[in-house]
Chain A
Amino acid sequence: NAGVTQTPKFRVLKTGQSMTLLCAQDMNHEYMYWYRQDPGMGLRLIHYSVGEGTTAKGEVPDGYNVSRLKKQNFLLGLESAAPSQTSVYFCASISAGRSWEQYFGPGTRLTVT
């Protein structure tokens, strides 16, 4: 049981390049989330999914796209990276109902130069 995993752990991109971050969970959770963490800002929600095939925008969705083709995977895409997207990205998941604990992945540090 690996919990929530994220791939890759570190990445450096040049402005304008694209990439996809992969989040995988093996707990059969319905809900999955992508957050970004910037210094002095805490974690902010980018996009989320309430089930396979569904996605929705969070607080800071601009410049990102997501897909949830399989229940266990949640992909975050940057089509044209910008320096403002330099951040640490966290994926999280939770089961539906009155479950209270959200499980976090280890984070991905992305630098856009």
Chain B
Amino acid sequence: AQTVTQSQPEMSVQEAETVTLSCTYDTSESDYYLFWYKQPPSRQMILVIRQEAYKQQNATENRFSVNFQKAAKSFSLKISDSQLGDAAMYFCAYRLATGAGSYQLTFGKGTKLSVIP
């Protein structure tokens, strides 16, 4: 079974600074997706960024980027120029890309990010 581990229950960052959230995963598959979701106090799950395992290039979305290390099974999220609106729970998630299965997401336990003005 696949597992996703987020080892930082809480983190904080000064506004305008950069922060990196860690995620490791365990799988025997080679074709999969990795995601970072943001959950603000509204509870809505918001997709921040995704990475396809067969792509070596790290994904970027504006101020958000990932460091994907497939051999090490590591998938960290870097937030640059942190803003007050970035304060939220962040979840790392994994799912198979194709093939038999449900495409269900396996989530880490989350990291609560605080942004200090």
A90 & B102 in contact (Cβ 8 Å cutoff): no
A-B contact pairs, 17 of them (CB 8 A): A40-B9, A40-B109, A42-B4, A42-B91, A42-B109, A42-B110, A43-B45, A43-B105, A44-B107, A88-B43, A92-B105, A97-B98, A98-B97, A98-B98, A102-B95, A102-B103, A104-B44
CB distance from A49 to the nearest CB of B (A): 9
B9 & A42 in contact (Cβ 8 Å cutoff): no
* Interface size in chain B (residues, C-beta < 8 A): 23
- In the bound assembly, the distance between CA atoms of A106 and B4 in angstroms comes to 23
B102 & A31 in contact (Cβ 8 Å cutoff): yes
| B62 located at the interface, meaning its Cβ lies under 8 Å from any Cβ of chain A in the complex | no
B52 & A100 in contact (Cβ 8 Å cutoff): yes
CB-CB nearest in chain B for A38: B109
Task: List chain B residues, Cβ under 8 A from A42.
Answer: 4, 91, 107-110
CB-CB nearest in chain B for A101: B47
A48 & B102 in contact (Cβ 8 Å cutoff): yes
A107 & B43 in contact (Cβ 8 Å cutoff): yes
Interface of A is mostly: strand
- In the bound assembly, the distance between CA atoms of A94 and B97 in angstroms comes to 12
| B104 located at the interface, meaning its Cβ lies under 8 Å from any Cβ of chain A in the complex | yes
A31 & B91 in contact (Cβ 8 Å cutoff): no
A100 & B50 in contact (Cβ 8 Å cutoff): yes
- Report B20-38 CB contacts with A as 1/0, cut-off 8 Å: 0000000000000100000
- Report B70-107 CB contacts with A as 1/0, cut-off 8 Å: 00000000000000000000010001011000111111
Which of B33, B104, B108 counts the most chain A CB atoms within 10 A? Answer: B104
